[in-house]
Structure formats: C-alpha cells, structure tokens
Structure 1
Amino acid sequence: MEEVDLDKIWAAYPSDRRRDRTGCRRHFAEALGDASVEELAAAATAYAAESDGYTRSKVCLLDNWLRLGKWRHVDALRQQKATSSESAEKILRQVAGWVKTRHGMCRHVTSGQVTAALQRGLITRDEATAAGVLK
C-alpha cells in the first residue's frame, strides 16, 4: 500500500525533480507520521505550481523535499482550507438571514447557495419559495 501512496506523491512532483526512489520511500514513511497521503500530494502539487519556471538550482529534488520537511507548508494548506470553510459557512448564514427576512439581497443569491443552505437546515423550502429564490 505504501508504494501505491508514494506513487501519488511521485506523480504530483515534477518529473525532472524526481530521484532516489528508495530514499524517497524512507522519507515518505517518516512524513506520514505528520500528514496524510492526500495532504502530501496536495503539498507536492502546490510546490510544483509555485516553483514552476524556476531553474534547477532553485528547486528541491523530491528526496530532499521529503527529507528536509519542505512539504510542511501543508500546514498553510490546512489553514487555508479551514479559513475557506469558515468563510463559506459565514456566507451561508448571511444568505439564510436574507432569505428569512426576504431582504433585497435575495436577488443576488445563487441556486448553489440556496441548495447548500437548505441542506444544512439553515432555511426551509417554504422560506426559500417565499423569498423568491426557489421555484
């Protein structure tokens, strides 16, 4: 299973920066104590995107990236995801408030927001229909 998981990171990392698969396997196993395979793959993808176009002397080869813990910016990805979720929830609560009060901002509410608010139980179908955001 671990080899399959390493393949996900290997594939996410730019091909010209991969080397020492045996070393990568060892460092990958150590990294799994602090992050999931999905988080490591996301960190590898993010690093590949942020370092795209850099010269070879300015980038980290995969074995070093794992060994030196350069993947730890996964913490920043976790924070960004949490902040994004909190922000989305705040917006949905605001949308629900507009729907319940039939506020003029209802005309700017998307069908996706209405669906999400309904699924979370923030509004009822009757409230959405009365506000004109659900037909």
Structure 2
Amino acid sequence: MSDNLDDLLSNIQQQCDDAAHDMFGKETSRWHNPTYARTMENPDSTGEVRGNCGDVIKIFLKIDNNTVSEASFFTTGCGPSIVSSDMVCELCMGKNIDAASEIDGEDILERLGGLPEDKTHCAHLASSAMQEALGNWMEKK
C-alpha cells in the first residue's frame, strides 16, 4: 500500500514540477527557493503595490552611498509574482539609484525568459514596487 501511495505522490510531484517548468522555464528553481524572499528588518525604504489580481508585492531596500546594498521582498502572490519579485531584487543589487530606477517589467521578463502571457503583469508589479521603494527613499533625502 505504501509503495502505491509513494508512486502516486511521486507522480503528482512530477506533474507539479513539469507545470512549473512550463510556466517559469529555467527559473523554476527561483520559484522553489527564492533568494531574496524575506521581510527585512530596518530597511531604508519600502515600496508596496497591489495588482488588480489581488497580489501584493512589497520590496525592502538598504541603500548605502546611493547604491542598493541589500534588497528583499514579501508577496502574497502567485508563483510568477514570486519569481518576478526575486528577479527585481537581483537586478537592483549593487546598482546606483539612477540605474536601479531604470529597471522595468520588460527587463524582468527578459531575464526570466518570459512568463505566460496572462502572468506578465507580475513582472510589472514587481518593478512598480521597486520604483515605489526608490521613490520613497528619494523623498526622504
């Protein structure tokens, strides 16, 4: 009985992995284990957006000498929101404020290798949250 259950669970896991690969391509591992997913304590700035889909993305930044030294995110969203948020954090790390402010949804989609058409808005939500965090930091200065 346990061998049948193990086989069933293994089959379900494989189907989930295949679906994730179809959705995220090479970035499937980013969905399983995002590098930057955490709530940052004492950030220098934050930005939060809520999409029409209901997803919330919050970006946390540490900024030293006008350069993003640390970034993280929290999202209540789906897998594409997770990978998009993780990617925008990766893209902004080590960039000065001007360069980080130029990161947009298309940059995220390009680095991810795309997302399903009905999920591309997630990349734009992530970039909007980053832009808001940067804008909030600039307002403080």
Higher strand share: 2
TM-score, normalised via structure 1 length: 0.26
Higher Rg of the two aligned structures: 1
Higher helix share: 1
TM-score, normalised via structure 2 length: 0.25
